[in-house]
Structure 1
Amino acid sequence: MSLDALTFRPATLADTDAVVALVESAYRGDSGRRGWTTESDLLDGRRTGADEIHAVLAKPQNMILLAELDDGSGPRLLACAHIAIEDGAGYFGMFSVDPGLQNGGIGKRVLAQAERVVREQWQTPTMRMTVINVREELIQYYVRRGYLRTGRFKPFPYGDARFGLPKRDDLSFEVLEKSL
């Protein structure tokens, strides 16, 4: 698959079901285990839902960035990420690449496009994200792409099923940051 034809666009409400399916496949259940981003060993339950997608799309300076490839039979959703402006910085989250296509360069392209939107369209010089503290391989992925470990942590929202059902009691979110 040639990534030269990869296109980006903001999601619309019509994309809700496809985005939920992609995110769930990347983070939960057996399909997520095919990729390296799965949280299946850490969390059960949902990763996102139509309610969350609708809420994101309704907020100003929030976008779900879609990465698609048209192989001649119409565009196919390969990846997505939620980007926003929060607390004076860009925010990057809900990053999902089709598990069968991970490690092929799509994620790097999505991250670069998200950074470009935050820097150029939203005129924001910093991107911030949170990563589950025990996901060291994922944290290192972002460190290799210029993100710094800030030493700041946010509590995991135990008891809020919208964020999943934790299988362990030592989860928190580590804050990573990059100057754009």
Structure 2
Amino acid sequence: MDTQRVALPTFRTATAADVPSLVALIESAYRGESSRAGWTTEADLLEGQRTDPEGVMAVLQGQDSRMVVVESDGTLLACCQLENRRGHAYFGMFAVRPELQGGGLGKQLLAEAERLAGGEWGAKEMHLTVITARADLTAWYVRRGYTRTGQTSAFPYGDERFGLPTRNDLEFELLVKELP
């Protein structure tokens, strides 16, 4: 009988040593061919990078931000950015390894992020933005209690740090959830 133990995923705050793995995880979930193994790919909307080491490090070093990671046996499986914005929290840089998407890990990480934002920061709401062309992703958040606000903001065209758009109609919509 095989008695190999599988480590349960654990949540923790990322450190500077995690930056290369975080960049690779985020890129794999959103860009290039590897992202097509999951359902969160933006490969048909954007080429180029999703983030870079400087962007991830800025989250780690931010006074009111943190990067939460899920790991198992030393391997990063998922991550998200949380920012304390006085009264509400912002949720971003959400990524789950493409081959693990659809298995509930993202739902668990989102719930943990909401717990941390409400419990540790006293945030009353969680805010996030979704590219409006991502109807499937918007629907996923709505099923988790987020409300579409109709408030949109422009995609940062011309700033290659956020990718190279393949369309000229990209914009973000703000989604909000009240936290207990």
> Normalising TM by the smaller chain, what interval?
over 0.9
Q: Does 1:113 align with 2:112?
A: yes
Query: In the alignment, does 2:20 pair up with 1:7?
Result: no
Which amino acid in the other structure matches residue 104 of structure 1? Answer: G
Count of aligned positions: 175
Structure 1 residues not aligned, in runs of 5+: none
5 Å-filtered alignment, 1:18-167, equals 18-70=21-73, 75-86=74-85, 88-167=87-166
Separation (CA, whole Å) in 2 of partners of 1:176 and 1:87: 17
Per-residue deviation, residues 79-116 of structure 1 (Å, max 9, x unmatched): 00011123641001111000001111100000000001
State the AA in 1 paired with 2:34.
S
Letter in 1 for 2:46: L
Any idea what the Cα deviations from partners look like across 1:38-57, whole Å, max 9, x if unmatched? 00000011001101011111
Q: CA deviation at 1:152?
A: 0.3
Q: TM-score if structure 2 supplies the norm length?
A: 0.94
Equivalent pair of 2:31/2:47 in contact (CA under 8 Å): yes
Q: CA deviation at 1:76?
A: 1.5
Given that residues 46 and 163 in structure 1 are in contact (C-alpha distance below 8 angstroms), is that contact kept between their aligned partners in structure 2?
Answer: yes
Say if 2:180 is the partner of 1:170. no
Distance 1:174 1:101, change over 3 A: same
CA distance in 1, matches of 2:141, 2:86: 21
* Distance in structure 1 (CA, Å) of the matches to 2:80 and 2:6: 17
Shift of 1:4: 8.6
TM-score (norm 1): 0.94
C-alpha separation between the residues in 1 aligned to 2:147 and 2:47? 29
Deviation, structure 1 residue 23: 0.3
Preserved CA contact (<8 Å) 1:22 1:79:
yes
Question: Structure 1 142/158 Cα, relative in aligned 2: closer, same or farther at 3 Å?
Answer: same
2:125, 2:178 within 8 Å by CA — same for their partners in 1? yes
Inter-partner Cα distance in structure 2 for 1:31 and 1:13: 25
Q: Is the 8 A contact 1:131 1:175 kept in 2?
A: yes
CA RMSD of aligned residues (A): 1.5
Task: Name the % identity.
Answer: 52
